[in-house]
Amino acid sequence: MTNAADRSGVPPRTYLDTASGEPLHPAARDVLMAALDRGWADPRRLHSPGRDARLVLDNARAVVAECLGVRPDEVSFTASGTDAVHRGVLGLLAARPERGSRVVMTAVEHSAVAHAAAWARGADHADRPESPVEVAVDRHGRVAPDEVVRAAGQPGVGAVAVQSANHEVGTVQPVAEVAAALAGSGVPLFVDACASMGRLPLPAGWSTAAGSAHKWGGPAGVGVLLVRKGTRWTTPFPLDDRVDERVAGFENVPAALAAAAALRAVLADGEAVASRQAALVDRLRAGVGAVPDVEVVGDPVDRLPHLLTFSCLYVDGEALVEGLSRRGYAVASGSACTASTLEPSRVLAAMGALTHGNVRVSLGRDATEAEVDGFLAALPEVVAGIRADAGL
């Protein structure tokens, strides 16, 4: 998303961080404005405004279900993607406490999964806290299904968590293979699909799954929790008297409908957009790889179509982000969830990749070759300037 340069010579602003949040889709904006006039009431109430709001909420649920290929009664709207992750993981553990509260997860899961897994152990077993069982990944960030199954056989394991695609490097995980290997074990599978929902088909085999609307162009503050019909799931938090027992609080009905509209819109032209984005990322990969002492990470083929991460030797990530920002390019650095604390990326560390001087570039649906070429022209100059300032 680019704005033309003004007369002061300020460079155009190019937003290359859609993995953190996609700009609101035009379809979502139009629906949101209309839904504000009809979906403002409490959908639990029986009066006319309440029934209108309930119809809007049910419509949103039906659209999301159709888009994802699931049942409407498997869809719930939460306050955020993080909330959906927490409920998806912890609800599986709460439903079967006799199995234990340990979570097997890949070493590159989002921090929301790691925090939920750690919280479950701390809350239920304060006298003998145990860490979640982390399964190592290869240099591309992919887990081996047999390793997940082996870990799931340990005592006290109540759930397995495998993301559909990595939020930092884009690598797609073999979720369907993991699910098939777990079949018959009795251990349920949670899938964090926040990074991929709206971009890739929902993988098969999940017991619960989570998505985040602002990652596909819906409003912020709308998460999607999927609970497979027949899955043993119990709310892990205090009960509420809502229409949907899986969530708590007053649903943001207009935002839920806008999220559904955005999801339908992005899927309508998803293949064309993904193909164009993948070609642009290939262009980025080649150009970035030509910069001296730069490591491009993640699977080069089996990945999210819009995302690329690389690390620069002898360069501070914060300085790199600031330097690129001054050139007009908004990118992310560090862990997608801990960059504000300046902590090294646990994802890159698990992959054995360089954890400092890293940049994540994620393209919008309207990204152009000119934007990519401009970024590739600015990057070597910014990197060289930082290294020169450091005396290298």
The amino acid at 288: V
Q: How far apart are alpha carbons 25 and 260 in whole angstroms?
A: 11
For residue 239, the tally of other CB atoms under 10 A from its CB is 9
Single out the catalytic residue among 67, 194, 312, 337.
Answer: 337
Phi and psi at residue 55, in whole multiples of 5°?
-65, -40
Q: How far apart are alpha carbons 307 and 320 in whole angstroms?
A: 18
**312 included as an active-site residue:** no
Q: How far apart are alpha carbons 263 and 145 in whole angstroms?
A: 30
Could you tell me the two tokens for 80? Answer: 């955020």
Phi and psi at residue 307, in whole multiples of 5°?
-125, 140
Phi and psi at residue 195, in whole multiples of 5°?
-75, -25
For 283, which DSSP code? H
**Coarse DSSP helix, strand, coil percentages of the chain, rounded to the nearest 5 percent:** 40, 15, 45
Q: Which residues are designated catalytic?
A: 337
